[in-house]
Amino acid sequence: MNNLHKAIEVLKKGGIVIFPTDTAYGIGCRIDCEGAVKRLFEIRKRPTSQAVPVLVDSIAMAKKYLVSPISDNVRHLMEKYWPGGLTIVYPCKTEKIPYLVRGGTNKLGVRMPNHKLVLDLIKSVRVPILGPSANFHGFPTPYDCEDLDKKLVKLVDYVIKGECSKKQVSTVVDCSDVPWKILRSGAVKLDKFVQLDQYILYIDTSDNKKITVALEINGKKVQNIKQTDTWTSQILLPMIDDLLKKENINVTQLTQININTGPGSFTGLRVGVAVANALGWLLHIPVNETYGAVDVTYK
């Protein structure tokens, strides 16, 4: 039995394996085995409040564990830098991911490594595998087999030897909020202000005679105004859809929503806030980061 097949067998049975990746040596187990996850944390002496990254074999696999729909900006980031040394933190489906893996939060750090052996491992196990560096918490990251701590090696079930091509930790970017934040610089060089295009939707239903929706695209502002005395989502949603289509933008590209919270028409404000909150929840984007009324009338 060769090294790869042995490692696959160990992982499938809920064991823990040390393996080389493109960035550094990792230590992992399958994501869906909570006993193995707990044991991995105990072995590495990692605080239970600190999440660990997971490794996937494709964007399609990542989508199974991340909240849908993934924004177009984040998907483009994956397409540009995966496989490779970029870890993306994004809201996740908490019911599918052990508490320890996400550090008790609703976020998950995900990476698709540029290393055939690891990708073959994941494909064979058919679920993501945990991918923190193979060291005791707080100790140096190993980039060569000789760097592995012998005490750690004795605690795991199997070790695959191999080369780490980059020999540099992955870059970690938190895309769970706007603007994105670079949590750690590493193998992938990203601009300090990494956020891609900004698409901000503004909604104003405070006037009892008209509805205004507007869109700000990297500073360019366009709006759609409709005279009406009927306050229903059946009017507001088509207005938003028309504006997005006019600008050739998919709703998943929205990065933020601002809604006028008043004063104004009670029924109108209620409809506007309900629509804004529903879209924000579905798209996982912030609504009214700055509390209060929002002026959506552009000159």
DSSP code string of the chain: --HHHHHHHHHHTT--EEEE-SSSEEEE-BTT-HHHHHHHHHHHT--TTS---EE-SSHHHHHTTBPSSPPHHHHHHHHHH-SSSEEEEEEB-GGGS-TTTTTTSSEEEEE--S-HHHHHHHHHHTS-EE--BSS-TTSPPP-SGGGS-HHHHTTSSEE-----SS-SPPEEEE-SSSS-EEEE--SS---SS-----EEEEEE--STTEEEEEEEETTEEEEEEEE-S---HHHHHHHHHHHHHHTT--GGG--EEEE---SS-HHHHHHHHHHHHHHHHHHT--B-SS-S-------
Query: CA triplet 236, 242, 245: central angle to 5 degrees?
Result: 140
- Between 278 and 296, the higher pLDDT residue: 278
Residue 298: pLDDT over 60: no
Supply the pLDDT for residue 191. Answer: 64
> Are 100 and 31 spatial neighbours (Cβ–Cβ below 8 Å)?
no
- Between 252 and 193, the higher pLDDT residue: 252
Domains of the chain: 3-184 (3.90.870.10), 199-283 (3.30.420.40)
Residue 292: pLDDT over 60: no
- In the chain, the percentage of residues whose pLDDT exceeds 70 is 91
- In the chain, the percentage of residues whose pLDDT exceeds 90 is 57
Q: What band does 65 get if pLDDT is binned at 50, 70 and 90?
A: very high
Residue 111: pLDDT over 80: yes
Supply the pLDDT for residue 32. Answer: 96
C-alpha 243: how far from chain center = 27
Give tens-digit pLDDT for 222-271: 888 888 777 677 788 999 999 998 888 888 778 789 998 888 888 888 88
- How large is the average pLDDT for residues 26-35? 97
Q: What band does 218 get if pLDDT is binned at 50, 70 and 90?
A: low
Q: What band does 297 get if pLDDT is binned at 50, 70 and 90?
A: very low
Supply the pLDDT for residue 256. Answer: 84
Q: What band does 6 get if pLDDT is binned at 50, 70 and 90?
A: very high
Supply the pLDDT for residue 83. Answer: 97
What tokens does 205 get?
């239903």
Supply the pLDDT for residue 1. Answer: 42
- How large is the average pLDDT for residues 49-63? 96
Residue 36: pLDDT over 90: yes
Give tens-digit pLDDT for 126-179: 999 999 999 999 899 999 999 999 999 999 999 999 999 999 999 999 988 777
Which of 46-50, 57-61, 109-113 shows the lowest mean pLDDT across its residues? 46-50
Cα four-point dihedral sign 74, 289, 261, 297: negative
Supply the pLDDT for residue 227. Answer: 85
- How large is the average pLDDT for residues 16-35? 97
- How large is the average pLDDT for residues 12-41? 97
Mean pLDDT, the chain, as a whole number? 88
Supply the pLDDT for residue 192. Answer: 53
Residue 185: pLDDT over 90: no
